[in-house]
Amino acid sequence: MTDDEITIGDRRLHYLIEGDGAPILWIHGFPLGGEIYQHQLSIEGVRHVVPDLPGFGRSDPYDLPEETTIHQYTSDLLGLLDALKIDKAVMAGLSMGGYVAFDLVRVAASRLLGLILIDTKEAADDDSGREARMASIESIRRKGRTVEFVDEMLPKLLSESSKNDPELVETLRSLMASASVTAVVSAQQAMATRPDSTSLLPEIPCPTLVVAGREDVITPPEITERMCAAIPNAEMQLIEGAGHLPPMERPIEFNAVVREFLRERIQGEGQS
């Protein structure tokens, strides 16, 4: 495994690389880090690239969190692929990572070998969603800490059975708690101002796997079904017993659907 970083301006962007084969870029959700994909590194026949988005994991935050956009994350990830001399990759994004993956479709469609949309949605925030994010930014800034925010969000990420898995809950809590105030503010700002991607769905040019936990309350299965129906070359899989984080909650089942997608739709179709 390679554990390394690139420098963008004066910021360090940390990433892991594992395996050989068609590249797959794993983009994590909020407020997490590349660590959510630790169980996916065992998927064979691909070259896993697992960054920490700015401010999360071991990557430095942006200087101006209140001005962060999803597109900044996209630019950093394209910079990472360029630095690694990866022309095309399967882009896999979970929730906020999916918002970034949509932006990659928007600005770099020719670099997609395939797309894996995990517990994410195409719609932008509505007014009340945006207001809730702004209120959480204000509250986190005022308190100077994220602990209450983490406590409130954590149960929404997990299925009922996952909530009864103390090891998983502890791993998730410590991952969420490691996100700095700056990182959380940045990501909330970026998500609040993200564009709607509904009109992009029929334009997605590559094989697409749309996958979600059956018990996800943040992006429920109706959203996953709606997205899959609008993407020309897509298939859908729901993971039983998982909530918003199937790669962590049900890694065996999640990896099985990813392996099948890669084998049937990606591997053998050529790569850079």
Binding site for ligand MLT (CB under 6 A): 29-30, 95-96, 191, 218, 244
Whichever of 15 and 73 has its CB closer to ligand MLT, that residue is 73
Whichever of 65 and 207 has its CB closer to ligand MLT, that residue is 65
Burial label, 106 (beta-carbon count in 10 A; 0-12, 13-18, 19+): middle
Residue 133 beta carbon to ligand MLT: minimum distance, rounded to whole angstroms = 8
Whichever of 207 and 246 has its CB closer to ligand MLT, that residue is 246
Residue 2 beta carbon to ligand MLT: minimum distance, rounded to whole angstroms = 26
Whichever of 149 and 265 has its CB closer to ligand MLT, that residue is 149
Give me the residue label for tokens 């209450």. 148
Whichever of 33 and 114 has its CB closer to ligand MLT, that residue is 33
Give me the residue label for tokens 């962060």. 68
d(C-alpha 96, C-alpha 84), whole Å: 23
Burial label, 42 (beta-carbon count in 10 A; 0-12, 13-18, 19+): exposed
Residue 239 beta carbon to ligand MLT: minimum distance, rounded to whole angstroms = 15
Whichever of 29 and 51 has its CB closer to ligand MLT, that residue is 29
Residue 42 sits at the vertex; the CA angle it makes with 97 and 178, to the nearest 5 degrees, is 45
d(C-alpha 50, C-alpha 15), whole Å: 5
Whichever of 86 and 218 has its CB closer to ligand MLT, that residue is 218
Residue 157 beta carbon to ligand MLT: minimum distance, rounded to whole angstroms = 7
Residue 31 beta carbon to ligand MLT: minimum distance, rounded to whole angstroms = 8
d(C-alpha 114, C-alpha 71), whole Å: 20
Residue 88 beta carbon to ligand MLT: minimum distance, rounded to whole angstroms = 25
Residue 96 beta carbon to ligand MLT: minimum distance, rounded to whole angstroms = 3
Whichever of 62 and 73 has its CB closer to ligand MLT, that residue is 73
What lies within 8 Å, CB to CB, of 76 at 6+ separation is 8, 13, 51, 53, 54
What lies within 8 Å, CB to CB, of 129 at 6+ separation is 192
Residue 95 beta carbon to ligand MLT: minimum distance, rounded to whole angstroms = 3
